[in-house]
Amino acid sequence: MNEKVGNVFKRTIFFENPVIIQILGICSTLAVTNKLLNTLIMCIGLTMTTSLSSLSVSLMRKMIPRKVRMIVEVFSIAFYVIIFDLFLKAYLPEISVALGPYVGLIITNCIVMGRTEAYALANSPMMSFLDGLGSGLGYSLILLIVATIREILGFGSLFGFRIFGENFVSWTIMVMPASAFFVLAVILWIFKAMMIKKR
Amino acid sequence: MKKESAVYTILFMVVLSLVLSSVLGFVSSFTKERIEVNLTAIRAKAILEAVGMNVDEMDLREIEKTFREKIQIDEFDGRRVYLTSVDGRRIYAFEYTGSGLWGLILAVIALDESFERLAGISFVRHSETPGLGGRIDENWFKKQFSRKKLASSYPYLTFATNVAKPGNYDPEDPTVDAITGATGTSKAVERLVNEAIKQWKPILMDRYGR
């Protein structure tokens, strides 16, 4: 299977976008998208983890015994997540506190394991890395859109800077995780409509 | 050795675990010091804030320095009290953990030398919803507790829920405004503050009393 590089990105970011097409990673989509800054850090963490764990699993793919392949995948995923978590705690302590347990939960994010299992085990390291990177970016694209909408309406701000005046009444529902369902559904609808037209 | 054999599988896992965990051990020892400094500073910041100092403009290094210079620590019976004076009044601060709506809240509560007035409170750690209960971290909320007179018996402090304007800054009125849209967290913090005072007031009076 030799895919073109451009096609990997088109596939992972649009036609097989992990969040809106495969509907994976919904838990974190609901949980960390009420402030743009937290979302951005979360996306960086996930993109780094998917790309690097896909790369390492692919590098080892000829040595991994079949019956322990999933353990090995989780191992390498956990490895990168712990490193990311340590760096956050050391260099961005306030964001680390705000993200709380969600960084650690990247380990259980279906997107990461899905990519290693479905792609990295059967493809070259370079392509697996790009596939992981693209999936991470696809995830980030949707999360950042959701977070932008939720922060504007829920707090009247963007990256913590107020963009509406004092009289703006913030939409409390937008701060709660459930609102991400509504936002996500609308985004899904728009993207699907766009894709059907393209095909 | 066959790739699917049991011996190879075990060997592979052992080697992989050794390699990955030694790298993690290295990264952890490399960041350990910084992480500890950060945690101490976050705590020190909350304590300074509770006793009534303005910490908004300080960076972590200044916070550490101020903490070392201004705060004395008194340890007895497994408890720890942070002592200082602000504007000539003795302040006694202590840490108190109580449950919030979603998880534990670690708060710092400071009483002044009369034991009838708060110096202030602040929060080290909590897991309340950002934007709702998480607003206990915002200044308008915390400033309400500054020099607040307490009622003479339990409940020492009540949270008002049906007020239009947020923030009750009258230090003589033992009432603070709760957070709109965060009734659960407000109730939890109200309980936490009152329980903390109920438990600590006699201890502090006993040790440092008039």
Residues of B in contact with A175 (CB under 8 A): 129-132, 181
The per-residue pLDDT for A111 is 92
Residue B15 within any structural domain of the chain:
no
Among A65, A75, A90, select the one facing B3 at the smallest CB separation.
A65
Is the Cβ pair B131, A89 closer than 8 Å? Answer: no
From first to last of its 199 residues, what are the pLDDT tens digits of chain A? 567 888 888 888 888 888 888 888 888 888 888 888 889 999 999 999 999 999 999 999 999 998 899 999 999 999 999 999 999 999 888 788 777 778 888 888 889 999 999 999 999 999 999 999 999 999 999 999 999 999 999 888 888 888 887 778 878 888 888 888 999 999 999 988 888 887 7
Nearest CA in chain B to A101: B127
Residue that wins the pLDDT comparison between B131 and A29:
A29
**CA–CA gap between residue B100 and residue A47 (Å, rounded):** 33
CA dihedral angle for residue B124, residue B126, residue B128, residue B133, rounded to 10 degrees: -30
Shortest Cα–Cα distance, A138 to chain B (Å):
25
Give the containing element (helix H, strand E) for B158. strand B158-160
Q: Cβ of B15 under 8 Å from any chain A Cβ?
A: no
The per-residue pLDDT for B162 is 78
Among A66, A87, A100, select the one facing B4 at the smallest CB separation.
A66
**CA–CA gap between residue B84 and residue B92 (Å, rounded):** 7
Residue B88 within any structural domain of the chain:
yes
Of B75, B205, B55, B65, the closest CA to residue B137 belongs to: B55
Q: What is the pLDDT of residues B151-191, one digit of tens each?
A: 988 889 999 887 766 788 888 888 899 988 889 999 999 99
Q: Cβ of A169 under 8 Å from any chain B Cβ?
A: no
Of B23, B4, B9, B26, the closest CA to residue A72 belongs to: B9
Shortest Cα–Cα distance, A130 to chain B (Å):
23
Is the Cβ pair A66, B28 closer than 8 Å? Answer: no
**CA–CA gap between residue B110 and residue B107 (Å, rounded):** 10
B98, B198 in Cβ contact below 8 A?
Answer: no
Among B9, B16, B35, select the one facing A67 at the smallest CB separation.
B9
Q: Where would I find the H helices in A61-124?
A: 69-91, 93-99, 110-115
Residue B17 within any structural domain of the chain:
no
Residue B63 within any structural domain of the chain:
no
Among A75, A98, A175, select the one facing B132 at the smallest CB separation.
A175
Nearest CA in chain A to B28: A86
Nearest CA in chain B to A85: B28
Q: Cβ of A89 under 8 Å from any chain B Cβ?
A: yes
The per-residue pLDDT for A159 is 84
Give the containing element (helix H, strand E) for A155. helix A125-155
Q: What is the DSSP letter of A120?
A: I
A149: exposed, middle or buried (C-beta count within 10 Å: 0-12, 13-18, 19+)? buried
pLDDT over 90 (residue B55): no
pLDDT band at B210 (very low <50, low <70, confident <90, very high): low
The per-residue pLDDT for A175 is 81
Domain ranges of chain A: 11-198
Contacts for A89 with CB less than 8 Å, ≥ 6 apart: A96, B31, B35, B38
A28, A109 in Cβ contact below 8 A?
Answer: yes
One-letter amino acid for residue B108 of the chain: V
Q: What is the pLDDT of residues B68-78, one digit of tens each?
A: 888 999 999 88
Which of A53, A73, A86 should be substituted to probe chain B, the one whose Cβ sees the most B Cβ atoms within 10 Å?
A: A86
The per-residue pLDDT for A76 is 93
Q: What's the complex ipTM? A: 0.78
Q: What is the pLDDT of residues B148-158, one digit of tens each?
A: 999 988 889 99
DSSP per position, B51-84: HT---TT--HHHHHHHHHHH-EEEEETTEEEEEE
Q: What is the pLDDT of residues B139-150, one digit of tens each?
A: 889 999 999 999
Q: What's chain B's average pLDDT?
A: 89
Domain containing residue B151 = 74-208
For B108-122, what is the HEC assignment? EEEEECCCCEEEEEE
What SS3 state is found at B177?
strand
DSSP per position, B85-141: EETTEEEEEEEEEEE-SSSEEEEEEEEETTSSBEEEEEEEE--PPTTTGGGGGSHHH
The per-residue pLDDT for B10 is 93
Listed by number, the residues of chain A in 114-143 with a beta carbon closer than 8 Å to a beta carbon of chain B are none
Give the number of domains in chain B: 1
Section B115-125 average pLDDT: 91
Of B78, B73, B149, the closest CA to residue B111 belongs to: B149
pTM attached to this predicted model: 0.77
Section B106-114 average pLDDT: 93
The per-residue pLDDT for A132 is 94
- Other C-beta atoms closer than 10 Å to the C-beta of A115 total 29
Q: What is the pLDDT of residues B10-31, one digit of tens each?
A: 999 999 999 999 999 999 999 9
pLDDT over 60 (residue B33): yes
What SS3 state is found at A164?
coil
List b or e across B113-134, with b for residues whose CB sees 16 or more CB atoms inside 10 angstroms: bebebbbbbbbbbbbbbbbbbb
How many Cα atoms are found within 13 Å in the side-chain-facing hemisphere of B60? 15
